[in-house]
Homo-oligomer: A and B are copies of this chain.
Amino acid sequence: MSVIDEMLAANSRYAEELARSGQQLLPAARVAVVTCMDARIEAATAFGFQVGMAHIIRNAGGRVSEALRSLAISQELLGTRAVAIIHHTDCGMLTFTDDQLRRRLRENLGANADHVAFLPFTDIEQSVLDDLDAYRESKMVRQDIPVRGFIFDVQTGRLNEVLPATARQPVRSR
């Protein structure tokens, strides 16, 4: 049985067991999470969200620049009023550069991806800070709501908050 057929079989069992009445389009906890596609992040369990509570946006790295369209829809049309940005340890985005991936795509698929920014990074904490900044620099999303950044440790399963430099290093008067 192929992997997608196994997925369908699991879904049949799920649907038979499910009593789904009462779930609404609007997320009950009014929160949106931006995180990585990584297979070790089981968003619902790891972050404590039951069905219907939160928007979960996921892409390679959990990059905010690619999540702004979704966040604008989430906030403006579906009423979310908090954002958690969650990158993680041992991320695949730490393992390559744009040039390396472009070369592989050219060699293996004949694709010209020279125009594509794959958004890798070399430091997880910095990538969270960069994405908090990317959020703050966008006019399409609300600046009057809580927006916090975290690193998910795939070994321990624990979330550790990344505080912006302004919160960590208060400017002293001279």
Q: Which residues of chain B have C-beta atoms less than 8 A from A141's C-beta?
A: 109
Q: Which residues of chain B have C-beta atoms less than 8 A from A30's C-beta?
A: 3
Contact with B along A5-40 (1 / 0, CB 8 A): 011111111110010100101111111110001111
Complex Cα–Cα for A55 and B141 (A): 27
Complex Cα–Cα for A151 and B133 (A): 35
Q: Which residues of chain B have C-beta atoms less than 8 A from A59's C-beta?
A: 57-59, 66-67, 69-70
Complex Cα–Cα for A118 and B73 (A): 8
Complex Cα–Cα for A23 and B153 (A): 12
Chain A residues bordering chain B, tally (CB within 8 A):
92
Contact with B along A81-106 (1 / 0, CB 8 A): 01010000010110110000100110
Q: Which residues of chain B have C-beta atoms less than 8 A from A111's C-beta?
A: 139-140
Given A29-B3, A55-B38, are A158 and B90 neighbors across the interface (CB < 8 Å)?
no
The one of B3, B6, B48 in contact with A6, judged by C-beta atoms closer than 8 angstroms, is B48
Contact of B116 with A140 in the complex, beta carbons under 8 Å: yes
Complex Cα–Cα for A58 and B69 (A): 12
Contact of B72 with A140 in the complex, beta carbons under 8 Å: no
Complex Cα–Cα for A125 and B82 (A): 31
Q: Which residues of chain B have C-beta atoms less than 8 A from A90's C-beta?
A: 25
Q: Which residues of chain B have C-beta atoms less than 8 A from A118's C-beta?
A: 69, 72-73
Complex Cα–Cα for A105 and B68 (A): 13
Contact of A48 with B4 in the complex, beta carbons under 8 Å: no
